[in-house]
A and B are shown apart, each in its own frame.
Chain A
């Protein structure tokens, strides 16, 4: 911990992945492995093209701004941010330029810590812009993929109101899940859908602000945490040594390999983006009735689900927190409930078995073969006593491994418990016939022999006999 007062502000860019088309062109907005396939003349800035904003993108931004308690302007428009770079085909990016009207102005969101305490994050603005193309730099050449050019991009900027890495990451995780819950984005950092710019400064106390240092394009939350801690350490050390004047208002980047931030440019060299209002898009009037309609379509949000899981379903705070973190997980859980799996049972299976599996296999919960419907079959079999709970776990693994229906595997593996009275009776009789001396001992008071007989029956049936039934029949026959 630094002895200095730390102030953090964060800009989070999230690619909108849930519109059919791009933000200002009719090109498809889908994840595409084939480079330069989701492209039309507008995305590549050919002469004569004009932008036409995507209404759904605007609606999504209004949804997000609502959840963030931001002020939504009466009119929406875009500005051109002018600069040259090979990934920017038009030579300018359509964006919004605070403090001028963004789709969300001001606002806040409350975040819960694991210990149940909460803190408030003040929002500066939310703006809706277009993404640039994607560049890959090879040894002596660079290649450009325009699939990403023009994809909707939501940029959420906080005020300098955070004070440590853990809170910052909690905030980011919660925002990510909101993007997922609102159906705006998969918010998947593996697909590069999330990028953060991290601003860190230190000062002697909370009444003063130090020199702000920005680290750009940090693409995972764990890296955000590392950047913050590294910067606190770096700046504190300089301050300790009386060299705080060496902390400059500058832009740095995170170097994953060395685990350090590296200077890119000083703020003095900041680019003048020559912003001006995009003349080709008439101002869009945001009618209050439209906002009201959009508000109504906002679904249950993560904290609401969490509260429901705790109060209505009786789950623990810990389990609920895990379930809501990713919308897909929570949706899987809700589907399980819909099918009739007991909440506690479903939660246990998901938390102890499924999340471990997808984490290990780098899979998505909505992609695995073990759908809620198949999980339901497994839990039903255990519940009815058709298989033991130990077998349930085996079945779980086999379903994932073989990608076959649970019923088929139970049959193939001979897993079904023998619950047929007569079948069990004949095996019990067999065991008793083979062990006359043990019967003798039992009848002479060695009651622990009872467990021995049960064990023998289970052995003969390779564990498939229903133990309750075995016990009943044994008691009957030993009378």
Chain B
């Protein structure tokens, strides 16, 4: 590895000064892609014929990157890691990908993921399991598993992800890198395969906060094809990174971060929360106020259920377009009903089908009030609770997950766990409920494996949130870290 462990600005300077060419970077990135594919199975497609581009003043020009396989990429296989779309080659580009392409960035691979983003393990895609580059017996988490794996492995400085529950921010933590999901609508979702539209976000995985800012600056913008997108032309995330957070106030939630709340905590959980406390102390030392706040346990423990209800409902409708009729291989059968049934039955994995059944049940007329409408109300309560915190605090800082990456073995997509553990494992979903800007940065190690810190702020306050993350990042030594296989 000569160049691909570097950040975007460094690469840009090397390109500008002629010390390296775009062609060399792309060749190196493709070579590394094959190595990481052999080891971790991170990709659906490696674009061996990716061509260099002209190096301009744009920081991203000439530099390779990866794209999660649920982004529509014109002329290039886009499967969503599903058998239903295993041969699907779109004829249009996702808006955000198109912006990067127009900036001269070079896509070198499409990364594997949980099928259509519906999973948090990186084990459910149609091309198999993504292994964690730090420990091949562990998962990357999902659903942006391939993107996290590739960026952590130093294949390129950044890869695109999508985040409906925590699908960028959880894998980033497990792989020891940065994962940023901006405010809902900052980046157009046009061309991102829909999972749960009211929760879906585009975003990016990088090895530094600055790189995340640079990439999202290029991806963002109002898009007439996505009415939930908004004009952010007055925002430059990169230029907002000054590292000055003297007067900022942060908080963390006692019910999630205090080890006493957990019965029989695992050794990893104990260390994980101790590490979190240490990091809070470190931040406090820099003069930033970090308060402990309390949130109703009932509300915290409802988050995961609300997420399941809303995401499964929207998903069952969103993925109804996959019938094999207007596109995709036609299913076998003598009637259209049989054809659709066979296409869907054979194409989707059992996990997804389970979610469709749940979603369908919830949306039934007689169940809507009890589940769907109530879940929407609780979503609102959760969001209002966080908004209330933002009246006092710039951001909420919390540990990601219940420890380092989980083991692949025995880690199927289980939707129910001990309530308190589950609340800690799933709280990043709050960022999707409220559309809040939310970023995970590497926050240390537990048993030599990376764990993450998450910083989530109020809507439209991306610049502030990123600047806080940038400042905290600089207090620690994990910036630009590349995965080192520890086992």
Q: Does B51 contact A (CB under 8 A)?
A: no
Would you call B365 and A279 a contact (CB within 8 A)?
no
B484 within 8 A of A: no
Contact A47 B80 (CB under 8 A): yes
Complex Cα spacing A53 to B227, Å:
9
Residues of A within 8 A of B364 (CB): 272, 274
A276 to B325, CA, bound (A): 24
In chain A, residues 82-98, which have Cβ atoms closer than 8 Å to a Cβ of chain B? 82, 84, 86, 89-92
Q: How many residues of B contact A (CB 8 A)?
A: 45
Check if B78 sits within 8 Å of A47, measured CB to CB: yes
Contact of A49 (CB < 8 Å), options: B70, B190, B316: B190
Task: Decide: A91 near B327, CB < 8 A? Known: A47-B80, A50-B227, A282-B227.
Answer: no
Asked if A315 is an interface residue, CB under 8 A from chain B, the answer is no
Contact indicator A50/B360 (Cβ below 8 Å): no
CB–CB A86/B325 < 8 A: yes
Whether B88 pairs with A47 at a CB distance below 8 angstroms is yes
Contact A91 B365, beta carbon cutoff 8 Å: no
The answer to whether residues A276 and B363 also contact, given A47-B88, A50-B227 and a CB cut-off of 8 A, is yes
In the complex the two chains form, is B92's CB within 8 Å of A52's CB? no
Q: Whole-angstrom distance between the alpha carbons of A118 and B382 in the complex?
A: 56
Is A436 in the interface zone, CB < 8 Å from B? no
Question: With an 8 A cutoff between CB atoms, is B416 at the interface?
Answer: no
A46-B321, A90-B321 known; A279+B314 contact, CB < 8 A: yes
* B314 surroundings in chain A (CB, below 8 A): 276, 279
A48: which B residues are within 8 A, CB to CB? 70-72, 90, 94, 189-194
Query: Would you give the shortest CB distance from A76 to chain B, in whole angstroms?
Result: 12
Contacting residues, chain A, for B349 (C-beta < 8 A)? none
Determine if A280 and B228 form an interchain contact, defined as CB atoms under 8 angstroms apart: yes
Give the secondary structure class of A's interface.
loop
With A47-B85, A91-B320 as contacts: A272 and B91 at CB distance below 8 Å: no
Contact flags (1/0) for B179-216 with A, using CB distance below 8 Å?
00000000001111110011000000000000000000
With A84-B320, A274-B363 in contact, do A144 and B326 touch (Cβ < 8 Å)?
A: yes
Task: Choose one: A49, A276, A281; the contact of B227 (CB below 8 Å).
Answer: A281
Q: Flag whether B236 is at the interface (Cβ < 8 A).
A: no
Please, which residues of chain A bring their CB within 8 A of the CB of B316?
Answer: 82
Proximity string of chain A (85-126) to chain B, C-beta cutoff 8 Å, 1 when within and 0 when not: 010011110000000000000000000000000000000000
Which residues of the other chain, A, contact B198 by a CB distance below 8 angstroms? 279
Distance from A82 Cβ to chain B, minimum over Cβ atoms (Å): 5
A47 touching B321, Cβ below 8 Å:
yes
Chain B CB within 10 Å, residue with most, of A53, A89, A146: A89
Q: Output the nearest chain A residue to B116 by Cβ-Cβ distance.
A: A47
Give the residue name and chain of the A residue nearest to B321 (CB). Answer: A45
A86, A89, A142, A144: the one within 8 Å of B321 (CB) = A89
Indicate whether A430 reaches chain B with its CB closer than 8 angstroms: no
Q: Which B residues from 360 to 402 make CB contacts under 8 A with A?
A: 360, 363-365, 368, 372
The answer to whether A280 touches B227 (Cβ under 8 A) is yes
Is B317 touching A47 in the complex (CB atoms < 8 A)? no
- Asked if B297 lies at the interface with its beta carbon under 8 angstroms from chain A, I say no
Report if B440 contacts A (CB, 8 A). Answer: no
What are the residues of chain B within 8 A of A142 when measuring CB–CB? 336
Shortest C-beta distance, A243 to chain B (Å), equals 32
Q: Across the interface, do B320 and A82 meet the contact criterion of CB distance under 8 Å?
A: yes
Q: Is A327 an interface residue (CB 8 A)?
A: no
- For A258-272 the 0/1 string (1 means CB < 8 A from B) is 000000000000001
Please state if B336 and A86 are interface contacts (CB–CB under 8 Å).
yes
**Out of B90, B189, B327, B372, which one reaches A50, CB within 8 Å?**
B189
Instruction: State A274–B368 Cα separation when bound (angstroms).
Output: 8
Say yes or no for B33: interface residue by CB 8 A criterion.
Answer: no
CB B319 to nearest CB in A, in angstroms, measures: 8
Query: Are B327 and A46 within 8 A (Cβ)?
Result: yes
Which residues of A (13-56) have their CB < 8 Å from a CB of B?
41, 44-53
Interface assignment of B226: CB less than 8 Å from any CB of chain A: yes
- Closest A residue by C-beta to B94: A48
Min C-beta distance of A272 to chain B, whole Å = 5
Q: Which residues of B contact A281 (CB under 8 A)?
A: 227
Residues of B within 8 Å of A148, CB to CB, are: none
Among B88, B91, B313, contact of A41 (Cβ-Cβ < 8 Å)? B91
Mask, B52-78, CB within 8 Å of A = 1, is 000000000000000000111000001
Residue pair B190, A44 in contact (C-beta under 8 Å) = no
Measured CB to CB, the closest approach of chain A to B335, in angstroms, equals 10
Q: Hey, which chain B residues are within 8 Å of A274, CB to CB? A: 317, 360, 363-365, 368
Bound form: Cα–Cα A272–B364 in Å:
7
Task: Return the chain A residue nearest B314 by Cβ.
Answer: A279
Please report which residues of chain A, range 139-192, place their CB below 8 angstroms from some CB of chain B when the two chains form the complex.
Answer: 142, 144, 146
Alpha-carbon gap, A208 to B313, bound state (A): 40
Q: How far is the CB of A194 from chain B (nearest CB, A)?
A: 26
Query: Given the known A-B contacts A84-B340, A274-B363, are A90 and B228 also in contact in the complex, defined by CB atoms under 8 Å?
Result: no
B312 CB → nearest A CB, Å: 12
- Collect the chain B residues with CB atoms within 8 Å of residue A90's CB: 320-321
Q: Is A80 an interface residue (CB 8 A)?
A: yes
Closest to A140 in B: B334
CA distance A48 to B225 in the complex (A): 11
B323 within 8 A of A: yes
Query: Are B225 and A50 neighbours in the complex by a CB distance under 8 Å?
Result: yes
Interface residues of B in 316-347 (CB under 8 A from A): 316-317, 319-323, 325-327, 336-337, 340
Contact B227 A44 (CB under 8 A): no
A89-B340 Cα distance, complex, nearest whole Å: 12
How would residues 83 to 104 of chain B score, 1 for a CB under 8 Å from any chain A CB and 0 otherwise?
A: 0010010111010000000000
Check B193 against A89 for contact (C-beta < 8 Å).
no
**What residue of chain B has the Cβ atom nearest to residue A91's Cβ?**
B320
B38 at the A interface (CB under 8 A): no
Which of A90, A144, A282 has most B Cβ within 10 Å?
Answer: A90
B224 at the interface (CB under 8 A from A): yes
Which residues of chain A have C-beta atoms less than 8 A from B194's C-beta? 47-48, 50
Q: Give the docked Cα–Cα distance between A89 and B326 (Å).
A: 7
Q: Are the C-beta atoms of B78 and A45 separated by less than 8 Å?
A: no
Instruction: Identify 17 new A-B residue pairs, CB closer than 8 A, beyond the known A45-B321, A84-B340.
Output: A41-B91, A47-B80, A47-B193, A47-B321, A47-B322, A48-B71, A48-B189, A50-B190, A52-B226, A80-B317, A82-B316, A84-B337, A89-B326, A91-B323, A92-B317, A276-B314, A279-B314
20 chain-A/chain-B pairs, Cβ below 8 angstroms: A44-B326, A46-B72, A47-B70, A47-B80, A47-B88, A47-B322, A48-B70, A48-B90, A48-B191, A50-B225, A51-B227, A52-B225, A53-B227, A90-B320, A91-B319, A276-B363, A276-B368, A279-B198, A280-B227, A282-B228
**A-side interface residues toward B, CB under 8 Å?**
41, 44-53, 80, 82, 84, 86, 89-92, 142, 144, 146, 272, 274, 276, 279-282
- In the A-B complex, the 7 residue pairs with the closest CB atoms: A91-B320, A274-B363, A279-B198, A45-B321, A48-B191, A279-B197, A48-B72
